[in-house]
Amino acid sequence: MTPPPKPTSSFPWLILPPAGVLIVLFGVPLLLVLAVSFASRGTYGGVEWALTFANYTSIADPLYLRIFWRSLWLAVATTAICLVMGFPLAYVIARAPKRWQGLLLFLVIIPFWTNFLVRTYAWMFILRTEGLLNQALLSAGLIHEPLNILFTDWAVLIGLVYGYLPFMVLPLYAALERLDRSLVEAAWDLYARPVQVFTKVVLPLSRPGVIAGCVLVFIPSLGAYVTPDLLGGARTMMVGNLIQHQYLVVRDWPFGSALSFVLMAGVLAAVLYYLRAGGARSLT
Amino acid sequence: MFAVLAACSPGGSEQGKAKPVTLHLFTWSDYTEETVVRQFEERFGIKVVTDTFGSNEELLAKLQGGAAGYDVIVPSDYMVSILIKQKLLAELDQAKIPNLAHVYKHLKGLYYDPKNTYSVPYLWGTTGIGYNADLVSPPPDSWQVLWDKRYKGKISLLNDEREVFGMALRAAGESLNAAEPAKLASAKARLMAQKALVKTYTSENYDQLLVSGEVALAHGWSGTIMRAAAERPSIKYVVPKEGGTIWQDNLCVLKTSTHRDEAMMFINFLLEPQVAALITTKVKYASASEEARLLVPKEIAQNPSIYPPETVLSRLEWIKDVGEAIKAYDRAWTELKVK
Amino acid sequence: MKTGRWLIAAGVADLFFLYLPIAILIVFSFNASKLSARWQGFSLQWYAKLFTNQALLAATLNSLAIAVLSTVLAGLLGVLTAVALERRPFRGQAAFEACLLLPIVIPEIMMGVAMLLFFVMIKLPLSLVTMTIAHTVFNFPVVALIVRARLRKLDPRLEEAARDLGATPWIAFKRVTLPLLMPGIVGALLMAFTLSLDDFIISFFTAGVGSTTLPIKVYGMLKSAVTPEVNALSAILVLVSMALVAAATWVQRK
């Protein structure tokens, strides 16, 4: 729509406070664990300082790659479902009368001010064999045998989508609220089919929101470990569990840190690529 | 590791009346009855502030990272041995903890602290099988029931690699702490075969699963199963004949504590028979204090699931820190999960 | 254009999905049973117990204090970051943007460990302060990401026009850009507040003596039992928040 502003030659004062916070309060701690990732595990689980790359070389193990692949698949599915489910809700809120918008936004987020564990327990109650969902489906005559959902990948997906849906809705709303109504109306005249209005006008115009939402859902669902354990029955391991285990159970901080850095590098590269690709298009 | 704040003053007495001492307790949540803590505060004029952790491993990670400020902590047996090796615990003055005399002989001087130099026993329990007698017959007496195809999809196991491998090892007549690759491999093979029968691996809410009937058999801790039994009387607890785990939580003082005397006063207070009895009544785990058993309600004192009889005690084993072998355990556990 | 009927239906279905477990949780807060497994009759005992449970209430207050404070700080830093990145491009911006994503990408437990090692190294005693710092650090990039998505769709010429009319940069920003950014900021702050309120692992590692938060407290209950007092507390939090928001909406209408 508008040409991007050109870099100014004046000193970037504005960025100083956030940059300072990021470098001092995050960069330095990160360097500490980076150093740890090149150390080795002490006999009793402490950190022994010795420069080694062993922690990194032992990551290339089919076992860990399978865990990573599974987590990736679940995170992608979660993000896709959140996008499909979140879009209508964000759109409805953005289209609601101004004075109701705040109320509706709060309505979306307030469930998440309850404690995570009791919320998850409530899902277990809904999904179990004699749970609410099965009873409802049985009495509606839709099924004749209770479905086995709890402690399967389906339950994990439901739990992850539930947990991160607001992370999709909030950025989407922020982008959609700005959507020019006259453009959408013009689109209705032009295309007439809702799908076309959506894909040709609404979606491109809200792209920055879609990107932000997808990043904010994808990353935490990739690292999730409590939901897969409780709702998935811990029958499989996610990359979040794997890292947690290295730090706590195995007490191998160096390997845990190395694993974390490799994961971080991979995710960061993917997200940056996605942001660049999406961002460039959004400016056209 | 990272600079342990070693400086410790004897603390307490010389500060005297100037400023009331505050004692910092780091423990599991709801593990010391609140009224008990208030009694202590009133009697000694010492304030107690409680913070909580969720697992022994979290406690260790935090202390290993250098967190300071806590006085009294409540680690389990194997964690005491690790904390001692990491030089994080202060030596106790047993003269200041006379109630140690009330502690069961078989709970004192254990492998992890042979002279109770660093730790005082607090509460203890066992790992076994909780089952719903309406759904499981005959009553199980062996770990083999967890491999019984009739209960496919009705079994929950603890989500804890040491407990699960320990169970499989004991079922085969081995030690819980076996670290030989061959023994671990055969335990892993049996756990892999069992996986199809297992509904869930969880250390958290199997009491709810038992009560709701979602599972009929749960590998779990005595106290948790007892809570389920209180809700649904058909739920029973058994320690299988091949033997299970015994665990004990302990009271320890951190080396970084600046109020060691008060900390020991507090530890001594928690072991006073009346106080210990109150705590056991509330949390449903057996007190280490022999005297306390005489003061708790009969349904607890006589309950073989809380206070196991001699015959059961003799077939229990402690989970010990296996050192480097933990990596082999974790590897096998990860393979089990990824299968 | 009217919002399509199917869109509204989908939105309502979403809300139903979001509130289903909350309804269950509220129902169980009135359950006589100690385990949320079966309905055992109506009881108010968990509410009565909640109000005498000093530790649980204190943990709730700690959580709220940290969430509010870190949200405000993250809001300031995040908006500043978004504006700087979008309106005042600088050399090395691409590298900075990548670094800005790190606090979002880093596995939680490593962030917790890193923060703990850092605070111990600089000898800053662990406390509510260190927890607030940690929460601010993981929250401000989130705020920046959301606000920036909004800012990107705003026409910079609006602000330039205000400048041409003689407004100082700050006045132009405050009067023109900030109001237009508001929906993004509100969404971002709600998100930051929520992330802070429910964080366990980073809080655990950065918590000092006497600064247990609600999630830390509840995880500590796993060994004994997560009692329905937590359900009661959650129910109160939900209902009070809703009442406050409804009241605010009502006041605005007048």
**What tokens appear for B31 in the block?**
């593990």
SS3 content of chain B, % helix, strand, coil (to 5): 45, 20, 40
Class of B2-124+247-307 in CATH: alpha beta
| Residue A93, pLDDT above cutoff 60 | yes
φ and ψ at residue B251, rounded to 5 degrees: -100, 125
Strand partners, B288: none
Tell me the residue type at B222: S
Q: Which of A75-84, A178-187, A274-283, B268-277 has the lowest mean pLDDT?
A: A274-283
Q: Tell me which residue in B62, B209, B212 faces C205 most closely, judged by beta carbons.
A: B62
Q: Do B66 and C225 touch (CB under 8 A)?
A: no
Query: How far is the C-alpha of B81 from the C-alpha of B88, rounded, in Å?
Result: 10
Task: Tell me what pLDDT residue C183 has.
Answer: 86
At residue C204, the 3 state secondary structure works out as: helix
Residues B125-245+312-338, CATH architecture = 3-Layer(aba) Sandwich (3.40)
Q: Do A119 and C117 touch (CB under 8 A)?
A: no
Task: Tell me what pLDDT residue C6 has.
Answer: 85
C204 touching chain A per CB within 8 A: no
Query: How far is the C-alpha of C193 from the C-alpha of C191, rounded, in Å?
Result: 5
pTM: 0.91
DSSP 8-state symbol, A200: I
Provide the number of structural domains found in chain A.
1
pLDDT along chain B (339 residues), means of 10: 37 51 91 89 94 92 92 96 94 96 95 97 96 96 96 96 96 94 96 96 91 94 90 94 95 96 97 95 92 95 93 94 92 93
Task: Tell me what pLDDT residue C202 has.
Answer: 95
Would you say residue A84 lies in a domain? Answer: yes
Task: Tell me what pLDDT residue B112 has.
Answer: 96
Residue B130 CB-half CA count within 13 A: 34
Residue A37 CB-half CA count within 13 A: 22
Percentage with pLDDT > 90 across chain A: 63
Which residues in chain B have Cβ-Cβ distances shorter than 8 Å to A230? 202, 204-205
Which residues in chain A have Cβ-Cβ distances shorter than 8 Å to C148? 208, 212
Confidence class for position A202, pLDDT limits 50, 70, 90: confident
Q: Tell me which residue in A18, A29, A208 faces C152 most closely, judged by beta carbons.
A: A208
Task: Tell me what pLDDT residue B79 has.
Answer: 95
Which residues in chain C have Cβ-Cβ distances shorter than 8 Å to B163? none
Query: How far is the C-alpha of B335 from the C-alpha of A223, rounded, in Å?
Result: 19
Confidence class for position A2, pLDDT limits 50, 70, 90: very low
CA distance C20 to chain B (A): 20
Interface test with A, best of B79, B197, B202, B335 (most A CBs within 10 A): B202
What radius of gyration do chain B's Cα atoms show?
A: 21
Residues 6+ apart with CB under 8 A from A276: none
Which residues in chain A have Cβ-Cβ distances shorter than 8 Å to C38? none
In contact, B283 and C220? CB cutoff 8 Å: no
Residues of chain A numbered 204-243 and touching chain C (CB < 8 Å): 205, 208-209, 211-212, 215-216, 219, 223, 240, 243
pLDDT tens-place string over residues A52-90: 999 999 999 999 999 999 999 999 999 999 999 999 999
Would you say residue A1 lies in a domain? Answer: no
Q: What is the largest distance, in Å, between two alpha-carbon atoms of chain B?
A: 68
| Residue C34, pLDDT above cutoff 90 | no
Q: Do C105 and A181 touch (CB under 8 A)?
A: no
Which residues in chain A have Cβ-Cβ distances shorter than 8 Å to C97? 272, 275
Q: Tell me the average pLDDT across C16-27.
A: 95
**What tokens appear for B47 in the block?**
């304030």
A22 touching chain B per CB within 8 A: no
Q: Positive or negative CA dihedral for B100, B104, B110, B114?
A: positive
Which residues in chain C have Cβ-Cβ distances shorter than 8 Å to B228? 35
Alpha carbon distance, N-terminus to C-terminus of chain C = 27
Query: How far is the C-alpha of B32 from the C-alpha of B35, rounded, in Å?
Result: 9
Helix ranges, chain A (H): 16-21, 28-37, 54-57, 62-95, 98-109, 116-127, 132-139, 153-176, 181-191, 194-197, 203-205, 207-223, 226-230, 239-247, 253-282
At residue C5, the 3 state secondary structure works out as: helix
Task: Tell me what pLDDT residue C7 has.
Answer: 87
pLDDT tens-place string over residues C101-151: 999 999 999 999 999 999 999 999 999 999 999 999 999 999 999 999 888
Query: How far is the C-alpha of C236 from the C-alpha of C60, rounded, in Å?
Result: 12
A25 touching chain C per CB within 8 A: yes
**β-pairing verdict for B72-73 and B245-253:** antiparallel
ipTM for the assembly: 0.90
Task: Tell me what pLDDT residue A11 has.
Answer: 61
Residues of chain A numbered 53-82 and touching chain C (CB < 8 Å): none
Query: How far is the C-alpha of B48 from the C-alpha of B40, rounded, in Å?
Result: 8
Which one, of C228, C225, A235, lies nearest residue B207 by Cα?
C225
Q: Do B64 and A235 touch (CB under 8 A)?
A: no
Task: Tell me what pLDDT residue B18 has.
Answer: 56
Which one, of A65, A74, A82, A33, lies nearest residue A223 by Cα?
A74
At residue B218, the 3 state secondary structure works out as: strand
Q: For B204, name the nearest residue in chain A, comparing CA atoms only.
A: A230
Query: How far is the C-alpha of A12 from the C-alpha of A16, rounded, in Å?
Result: 7
Task: Tell me what pLDDT residue B4 has.
Answer: 37
Q: Do B64 and A45 touch (CB under 8 A)?
A: yes
Strand partners, B253: B72
Q: Tell me which residue in C55, C116, C208 faces B69 most closely, judged by beta carbons.
A: C208
**What tokens appear for A240 in the block?**
């979040």
In contact, C86 and C151? CB cutoff 8 Å: yes
CA distance A118 to chain B (A): 11
Q: Do C117 and B52 touch (CB under 8 A)?
A: no
Angle at the Cα of B196 (from B190 to B197), degrees rounded to 5?
90
Task: Tell me what pLDDT residue B39 has.
Answer: 94
Which residues in chain C have Cβ-Cβ distances shorter than 8 Å to A18? 77-78, 80-81, 84, 100, 140, 144
Task: Tell me what pLDDT residue B1 has.
Answer: 39
Domains B2-124+247-307 and B125-245+312-338 in one fold: yes
Which one, of B186, B125, B53, lies nearest residue B318 by Cα?
B125
On average, the pLDDT of chain A sits at 88
Residues of chain A numbered 144-203 and touching chain C (CB < 8 Å): 162, 165-167, 169-171, 173-175, 177-178, 181, 184-185, 188, 194
Domain ranges of chain B: 2-124+247-307, 125-245+312-338
Q: Do C37 and B208 touch (CB under 8 A)?
A: yes
Q: Give the CATH number, domain containing residue A208.
A: 1.10.3720.10
φ and ψ at residue B301, rounded to 5 degrees: -60, -35
Query: How far is the C-alpha of A85 from the C-alpha of C11, rounded, in Å?
Result: 8
Q: For B48, name the nearest residue in chain C, comparing CA atoms only.
A: C210
> Would you tell me how many other CB atoms lie within 10 Å of the CB of residue B268?
17
Q: Which of B236-245, B292-301, C153-162, C231-240 has the lowest mean pLDDT?
A: C153-162
In contact, B240 and B129? CB cutoff 8 Å: yes
DSSP 8-state symbol, B96: G
Query: How far is the C-alpha of B169 from the C-alpha of B328, rounded, in Å?
Result: 14
**β-pairing verdict for B235-238 and A47-48:** unpaired
* Helices then strands, each counted (H, E), chain C: 12, 0
What radius of gyration do chain C's Cα atoms show?
A: 22
Q: Do C231 and A282 touch (CB under 8 A)?
A: no
- Per the structure, the complete domain to which residue A175 belongs is given by 60-283
Query: How far is the C-alpha of C234 from the C-alpha of A10, rounded, in Å?
Result: 50
- Chain C residues near any Cβ of chain B (below 8 Å): 33-38, 40, 53-55, 113, 116-117, 120-121, 125-126, 204-205, 207-212, 216-227
DSSP string, B123-178: EEEEEEEEEETTTS-SPP-SGGGGG-GGGTT-EEE-S-HHHHHHHHHHHTT--TT-
Strand partners, C42: C31
At residue B253, the 3 state secondary structure works out as: strand
Query: How far is the C-alpha of B51 from the C-alpha of B49, rounded, in Å?
Result: 7
Would you say residue A253 lies in a domain? Answer: yes
Strand partners, B289: B103
Q: Tell me which residue in C209, C217, C218 faces B69 most closely, judged by beta carbons.
A: C209
Q: For C8, name the nearest residue in chain A, comparing CA atoms only.
A: A92
**What tokens appear for A243 in the block?**
């890292």
| Residue C226, pLDDT above cutoff 60 | yes
Confidence class for position A192, pLDDT limits 50, 70, 90: low
Q: Do A175 and C150 touch (CB under 8 A)?
A: yes
More confident residue, C227 or C26: C26
On average, the pLDDT of chain C sits at 90
In contact, A174 and C188? CB cutoff 8 Å: yes
Which one, of A195, B161, C254, A158, lies nearest residue B169 by Cα?
B161
Q: For B59, name the nearest residue in chain A, comparing CA atoms only.
A: A248
> Would you tell me how many other CB atoms lie within 10 Å of the CB of residue C252?
11
Confidence class for position C216, pLDDT limits 50, 70, 90: very high
Q: Is A94 exposed, middle or buried (0-12, 13-18, 19+ CB in 10 A)?
A: buried
